[in-house]
Amino acid sequence: MTPVTQPVASDIDGYFTREESRIRSELDEFLRIPSVSARSEHNADMVRCADWLAGRLRAFGMTATIHKTPGHPIVVGEWRQAGPDAPTILLYGHYDVQPVEPLDLWTSPPFEPTVRDGKLFARGSVDDKGQLYIHVKAVEALLKVRGKLPINLVLLAEGEEEVGSDNLADFVEQHVDLLRADAVVISDSSMFAPGLPSILSSLRGLAYFQIDVTGPAQDLHSGSYGGAVVNPAMALARILATMHDSKGRVAIKGFYDKVQKWDRKSRDAITRLPFSDKHFKSETGASALGGEEGFSTLERIWSRPTCEVNGLLSGYTGEGAKTVLPSKAMAKVSCRLVPDQDPQQIARLFTAHVKRVAPKGVTVSVQYIHGGKPWRAELEGPLYDSARRALAAAFDKQPVIVGEGGSIPVVGDFTRVLKTPVLLMGFGLPGENAHAPDEWISLDNFTKGLRAVATLYDDLGKRT
């Protein structure tokens, strides 16, 4: 049964309508700062961007502190006057953006926000400055219209998300009292389709490996030695070919032992999403889709673990021919993991498998490079109930529950350190070019996002 949709509160709605052009021009200011975390020539822009953000928070009554890190600064904003009975919400976002190269593929310059066809084009428009600013302005609206927030709020904005969040886990562990909250809210993802608000139910984890196979001590002449020495590149191929069975399942012993099967309800929910294999195939450019038998495309990406080759290198790779019997062959291989697989345990199983199938005559080593745990939302309780109501109010459509095949390690850090539920509720859209030229955010989603987030905080405050 579909719950009745409540409208967005009229006072809040009126504020956004009245202030629309100022909010948009402030967003443009934010987007004009080239906060590219990966490029040291932008270090000063990173500091300027953190200062600018802190200034905007202070302008409507939040306190704001800039924390130095070994990398780029972290901005923490606070408003804690809702009283001890009101819930405390930790909002996470990031103010850094991806590099903009190749510049010649941008229709308009990446740091000059430009509207075309209802889309606001700029680097960071959707990832994640635009989505972070939705929260900032929703909080402003509540404070300006009502004089106070219904919740205690801590805003955490980092400047290193696009370069691996190297300093964030340490910061969270060292500031548990500052960041302690009843719920974490993140808007750094996408809706499943236009007009279809979405709540993320899961993230896959990761275990990333390098396999090195060594045969002869140096490259040999394939004529003088070929046929009498085990070829390490061929040995590597034979090792990799054992990773899957004929049904596309990962053939590593014990690999699926901890894999939770999704229940019928969750699997049925996926089938109701507006998804077309044909469209997905054309998006990838592959000649056909593939994967584990017995699962649909979305199930394969969201609910099933994988084992993928990410890179191969051996011997001669230039133009034409060189008759070398290589000394070494290397593969990068990674497994995407699902609850309750553990990256460390998968690393042990993976390594044991490779050792077991390694041909004689070569030396094989496996290096576990890094990993992260999978995550699955409970989707129950006041946080998710409020999110459903808020999204339905703003978009006039019940939100869908969607999975995510990628990994967001910070979610695991929040869960592990703060022991609190996390809500992932994004306003991007498929095709938004988050890491590519011509990044954009839908202006309709930005407008509805303001209303959804304000309604969420309002609702969370009422329910305690």
Residue 400 · residue 197 · CB < 8 Å? yes
Is 14 a binding residue for its own copies by CB under 8 A? The answer is no
Map residues 166-205 to x or -, x wherever contact with its own copies holds by CB under 8 A: --------------------------------------x-
Residue 289 binds its own copies, judged by CB under 8 A? yes
Q: Does 439 help bind its own copies (rule: CB under 8 A)?
A: no
User: Residues 343, 207: contact at Cβ < 8 Å?
Assistant: yes
In angstroms, rounded to a whole number, what is the distance separating the alpha carbons of residues 65 and 154?
11
* Binding flag, residue 426, its own copies (CB under 8 A): no
* 404 contributes a contact to its own copies by CB under 8 A: yes
Segment lying near its own copies (by CB under 8 A), choices 29-37, 111-119, 171-179, 405-413 = 405-413
Q: How far is the CB of 334 from its own copies (least distance, A)?
A: 6
CB of 79 to its own copies, least distance (A): 34
User: CA separation (Å) from 248 to 203, 304, 307, 308, 339?
Assistant: 21, 11, 10, 11, 20
Instruction: Please identify which residue in the block is written with the tokens 């279809």.
Output: 196
Enumerate residues 28-87 that contact its own copies by CB under 8 A. none
**Distance of CA 435 to CAs 40, 99, 163, 166, 280, Å?**
19, 8, 12, 19, 19
- Smallest gap from residue 346 Cβ to its own copies (A): 15
- SS3 of residue 418 by DSSP: helix
114-116 vs 198-200, strand pairing mode: unpaired
3-class DSSP assignment, residue 459: helix
Does 324 contact its own copies by CB under 8 A?
yes
Say how far apart CA 446 and CA 136 lie, in whole Å.
12
What does 112-158 look like in DSSP terms, one character per residue? S-EEETTEEESTTSSSSHHHHHHHHHHHHHHHHHHSS-SSEEEEEEE
10 binds its own copies, rule: CB under 8 A = no
How many other C-beta atoms can be found within 10 angstroms of the C-beta atom of residue 80? 15
Please state the length of the chain.
Answer: 464
For residue 345, state whether it binds its own copies (rule: CB under 8 A): no
Smallest separation, CB 357 to its own copies (Å)? 11
Q: Where are the beta strands (DSSP E) in 318-453?
A: 324-325, 328-337, 363-372, 375-376, 400-402, 422-424, 440-442
Selected from 44, 147, 287, 419, the binder of its own copies by CB under 8 A is 287
Among 223, 263, 264, 278, binds its own copies (CB under 8 A): 223
Give residues 199-218 in contact with its own copies (rule: CB under 8 A). 204, 206, 208, 215-218
| Residue 384 in the binding site for its own copies (CB under 8 A) | no
Q: Which is nearer to its own copies, 65 or 276 (CB)?
A: 276
Give the Cα separation of 450 and 134 in Å (integer).
5
Among 54, 141, 329, 460, binds its own copies (CB under 8 A): 329
| Minimum separation from the CB atom of position 364 to its own copies (A) | 10
- The interface region with its own copies, picked from 25-33, 133-141, 173-181, 237-245 by CB under 8 A, is 237-245
By CB under 8 A, tell whether 308 contacts its own copies.
yes
Using CA of residue 202, residue 298, residue 300, residue 234, what is the dihedral sign? Answer: negative
Q: Contacts with its own copies in 349-378 (CB under 8 A)?
A: 359-363, 369-370
Provide the minimum distance between the beta carbon of 82 and its own copies in the complex, in angstroms, as a whole number: 37
Interface with its own copies by CB under 8 A: which range of 100-108, 152-160, 401-409, 419-427? Answer: 401-409
Write out the H or E segment, with its range, that includes residue 56. Answer: helix 43-59
Taking CB under 8 A as the criterion, the residue among 156, 243, 401, 452 binding its own copies is 243
Residues 6+ apart with CB under 8 A from 444: 118
> How many other CB atoms sit within 10 Å of the CB of residue 372?
20
And the tokens for 25?
């021009």
Among 22, 58, 221, 348, which residue sits at the site for its own copies (rule: CB under 8 A)? 221
| Residue (88 or 351) nearer to its own copies, CB | 351
Q: Does residue 304 touch its own copies according to CB under 8 A?
A: yes
Among 115, 251, 330, 417, binds its own copies (CB under 8 A): 330
- From the list 16-24, 169-177, 223-231, 410-418, the region that binds its own copies by CB under 8 A is 223-231
Question: Is 60 or 256 the residue whose CB approaches its own copies more closely?
Answer: 256
**Residue 372 and residue 339 in contact, taking contact as beta carbons nearer than 8 Å:** no
x/- mask, its own copies, residues 246-285, rule CB under 8 A, reads ----------------------------------x---xx
